Amino acid sequence: MRVVRSIRTMQRLVSQAKRSGKRVGFVPTMGALHDGHRSLLRRCRRENDLAVLSIFVNPKQFGLREDFAKYPRREHDDKKLAKKEKVDIMFVPSVKEMYPEGYLTYIEVEKMTQFLCGRSRPGHFKGVTTVVGKLLNIVTPDVLYLGQKDAQQAAVLKRMARDLNFPVAVRVCPTVREADGLAMSSRNQYLPAGQRREAAVLYRALREARQGVAAGNRSSAGIAGGIRSRIGRESSGRIDYIECVDADTILPLKRIQGKTIIALAVWFGKTRLIDNIIVRT
Ligand code: AMP
């Protein structure tokens, strides 16, 4: 496995691979890799000739009062995991390499970024689409692998690729969970033991919502209310949002219809966790 820090080198290596007819798969991450990332890397490895992983904690997607400075950085462990998963290239650019002085250009997807995490984290998706747009131009992959865990992010990036004609196929992989159902996340390690135990309520509440939909409940407010009261009963979590949105447009639905994402963000202490499930009617 090669660790590459320069954009020029990354571009040269991929264009060589492509000239020899190789299919390139790409998994962008912020590192502190866990089994969720691993599932993306495995699929990328299986389906491509050249597997590229990027690790970049992107300052532009963090708000001023968010956790950029304390976000876990574990390059040494990440490298070991990536090697084990047979990644070919681990791309680890510095902030200066990605955003040299005088950087001025941004990508913004409208409407879909107004709700859910877009509402609670102003500017977040502008940072995400800008960095992934840049990474797609640098790595020029045939296939991009994203996780359903970040459902709005996946929908927004799919739309960006379509609207801006990035010649890339986007694959969204299922959410990988801990044994108690908590969605794996690099941020879970912020949680002290008590909050970590409580956080399992999120998936229990989402599963109960799925049962409600299966039993014929179509009211978004009713479903969200059920989730809210379960979280309130079984934890000290503070709700940021609970919403039912259309899976493609990410616009809120009054009634659950077609492919719907039930998504939530909940604070446990200083840690904000997100999760979601997809239901179909
Ligand atoms: P991050 O490092 O958190 O920016 O995540 C990098 C990629 O891994 C994103 O496409 C995430 O959606 C995906 N991912 C993160 N956690 C999980 C998980 N528990 N299951 C599946 N994919 C995940």
**Does the Cβ of 54 fall within 6 Å of ligand 1?**
no
Domain match, 156 and 204 both:
no
* Ligand 1 atom 12, closest CA: 147
Among 35, 37, 38, 278, residue to substitute to test ligand 1 (most atoms within 8 Å of Cβ): 37
pTM score, whole prediction: 0.98
Cα of 126 from ligand 1 centre, angstroms: 18
pLDDT at residue 4, rounded to an integer: 99
**Does the Cβ of 279 fall within 6 Å of ligand 1?**
no
- 173, 202, 218: which is the final residue of a domain? 173
**Does the Cβ of 79 fall within 6 Å of ligand 1?**
no
pLDDT at residue 124, rounded to an integer: 98
- 173, 208, 238: which is the final residue of a domain? 173
pLDDT at residue 228, rounded to an integer: 98
Cα of 217 from ligand 1 centre, angstroms: 30
pLDDT at residue 274, rounded to an integer: 98
| Assigned domain for 164 exists | yes
pLDDT at residue 120, rounded to an integer: 96
Active site residue 37: yes
Residues in a beta bridge with 260: 246, 279
Domain match, 143 and 7 both:
yes
- 117, 139, 173: which is the final residue of a domain? 173
Domain match, 161 and 221 both:
no
| Assigned domain for 214 exists | yes
pLDDT at residue 113, rounded to an integer: 97
| Assigned domain for 59 exists | yes
| Assigned domain for 179 exists | no
Cα of 148 from ligand 1 centre, angstroms: 8
Among 53, 71, 131, 150, residue to substitute to test ligand 1 (most atoms within 8 Å of Cβ): 150
- Regions of the chain where pLDDT drops below 70: none
State which ligand 1 atom lies nearest to the alpha carbon of 30: 2
**Does the Cβ of 127 fall within 6 Å of ligand 1?**
no
Domain match, 20 and 90 both:
yes
Give the CATH number of the domain where residue 269 resides.
3.30.1300.10
Domain match, 162 and 208 both:
no
Domain match, 166 and 220 both:
no
Domain match, 125 and 155 both:
yes
pLDDT at residue 174, rounded to an integer: 98
Cα of 216 from ligand 1 centre, angstroms: 31
Boundaries of domain holding 236: 186-280
**Does the Cβ of 32 fall within 6 Å of ligand 1?**
no
Domain match, 112 and 139 both:
yes
Domain match, 107 and 190 both:
no
Domain match, 190 and 169 both:
no
Give the CATH number of the domain where residue 75 resides.
3.40.50.620
Domain match, 53 and 139 both:
yes
**Does the Cβ of 25 fall within 6 Å of ligand 1?**
no
Domain match, 191 and 78 both:
no
| Assigned domain for 80 exists | yes
Q: How many domains does the chain have?
A: 2
| Assigned domain for 181 exists | no
| Assigned domain for 178 exists | no
| Assigned domain for 180 exists | no
